[in-house]
Amino acid sequence: MRLILLGPPGSGKGTQAQRLVARYGIVQLSTGEMLRAAVAAQTPVGIKAQHIMAAGGLVPDEIVVGIISDRLDQPDAAKGFILDGFPRTVPQAEALDELLKKKRIKLDAVIELRVNESALLQRVETRVAEMRARGEDVRADDTPEVLTNRLASYRSQTEPLIHYYSERRKLLTVDGMMTIEAVTLEIDRILSAIGAVEEAKAAKKAGAKRTAKVARKAGQAKTARKTAKKRAKPAAGKAAKKAAKGAKTAKKAVLGSRKASKGAKKSARKALAGSRARAAGKTRKTAKKVTKKRAKA
């Protein structure tokens, strides 16, 4: 499901975009968020945009289209997307058509949320009056005066897109003055009529299957690691016991060797002492004989 959502300020585009994202698993592509992300990531296009914005200039259409192109190449956009905040002018729409053609991506529909401007202004005036009565702060850009200016800007810039997409039979119009739930149901109905819902559900199901497959593989890998760890523990234990036993035997051998060496030294000392004693005895005996002979003489 690949959509563009058009509508003046206060028509509920943001709410309906979030509902479409949640229901069909598509991604919401906001040009503002994409610009900030590209600048933060320091992509080639993001660096160009950063220099222009730092100088206080407006980012040219070709750079915005380049950022959209990079975003469409990301895996999550393959399931479908809804463009928010782009295109705003006919030249932007033409540039987008060229980009989608190069990428062989088919735009399913352009949904226009049509509203009654007088009723919309009345709604804002009522909300602002209620907020002031409760003592709440009213944002500077959330007043009937500001909304009037924004509506005028929408009519001059964006309304020509209605004619552009109508000529290409991509435009689907929904009454944006209905309740939020009623608008959601009507969007579902017209998307079902053109076959976009079934395609989106199939893509979401395929994505879920891929996710489940990846999860299963991850689970199998985890189980294999656990099994290997369990098998490694007894082997490691046996090896450790064997090593300990070997060390014990070696220790005994060393102790035995030391004991034998000690015994040999002791025996040698005894033998030496005995030899000396015998030699001394002989010497005394000889001396005694000599003394006796001298005495007789």
**Residue 150 near residue 8 (C-beta atoms within 8 A):** yes
Q: Choose between 234 and 98: higher pLDDT.
A: 98
Residue 96's H or E segment, with its range, is helix 90-102
> Is 221's pLDDT higher than 70?
no
Cα(56)–Cα(296) distance, integer angstroms: 142
Identify whether 32 is part of a domain: yes
On the question of pLDDT at 161 being above 60, the answer is yes
| Within a domain: 248 | no
What does the H/E/C string look like for 235-247?
A: HHHHHHHHHHHHH
What residue spans of 5-89 are helical by DSSP H? 13-24, 31-41, 44-54, 61-72
The catalytic residues are 13, 88, 127, 139, 150
Of the candidates 111, 154, 90, 124, the residue with the CA atom closest to the CA atom of residue 13: 111
Confirm whether 146 is domain-assigned: yes
pLDDT band at 129 (very low <50, low <70, confident <90, very high): confident
Q: Is the dihedral of CA 208, 211, 215, 216 positive or negative?
A: positive
Residue 220 within any structural domain of the chain: no
Residue 295 has pLDDT above 90, yes or no: no
Q: Is residue 89 part of a domain?
A: yes
**The total number of structural domains that make up the chain:** 1
Long-range contacts of 35-41, Cβ-Cβ distance < 8 Å, separation of 24 or more: 35/59, 35/64, 35/67, 38/67, 38/70
pLDDT of residue 210: 54
User: What's the token pair of residue 134?
Assistant: 């409760």
pLDDT confidence tier of residue 58, bands split at 50, 70 and 90: confident
Binding residues for ATP: 10-15, 134, 178
Give me the phi and psi of 8, to 5 degrees please: -70, 170
- Partner residues linked to 109 by β-bridges: 3
Over residues 262-273, the mean pLDDT reads: 65
User: Which letter does DSSP use for residue 11 in this model?
Assistant: S
Q: What is the mean pLDDT of the chain?
A: 81
pLDDT cut 70: percent of the chain above it: 70
The tokens 């509508």 sit on which residue?
7
**Greatest Cα pair distance in the chain:** 165
Q: In this predicted structure, what is the pLDDT of residue 214? A: 45
Give the pLDDT score at 256.
63
Q: Do 116 and 177 form a contact (C-beta atoms < 8 A)?
A: yes
Output the pLDDT for position 268. 56
What's the confidence (pLDDT) of residue 26?
95
103-107, 169-173, 230-234: least confidently modelled range: 230-234
Query: Lowest mean pLDDT: which of 111-120, 136-145, 221-230, 247-256?
Result: 247-256
When computed from its CA atoms, the radius of gyration of the chain, rounded to whole angstroms, is 46
pLDDT, tens digit, 9 for 90 and up, residues 100-122: 999 999 999 999 999 998 988 88
Residue 18 near residue 73, CB atoms below 8 Å = no
pLDDT at 126 over 80: yes
pLDDT cut 90: percent of the chain above it: 35
Residue 99 one-letter amino acid: L
- Indicate whether 287 belongs to any domain: no
For 113, phi then psi, to 5°, come to -95, 105
Q: What is the pLDDT of residues 61-78, one digit of tens each?
A: 998 999 999 999 999 999
Helix (H) or strand (E) segment spanning residue 6: strand 2-6
Is residue 102 a part of any domain in this protein? yes
* CATH code at position 206: 3.40.50.300
Within a domain: residue 239? no
Rounded to 5°, angle at Cα 150 from 146 and 156 = 150
Structural domain including 143 reads 2-212
Per-residue pLDDT, 153: 86
Dihedral angle sign, alpha carbons of residues 174, 178, 183, 185: negative
Work out the burial of residue 292: count CB atoms within 10 Å of its CB; fewer than 13 is exposed, 13-18 middle, 19 or more buried: exposed
Tokens of 68: 């959209």
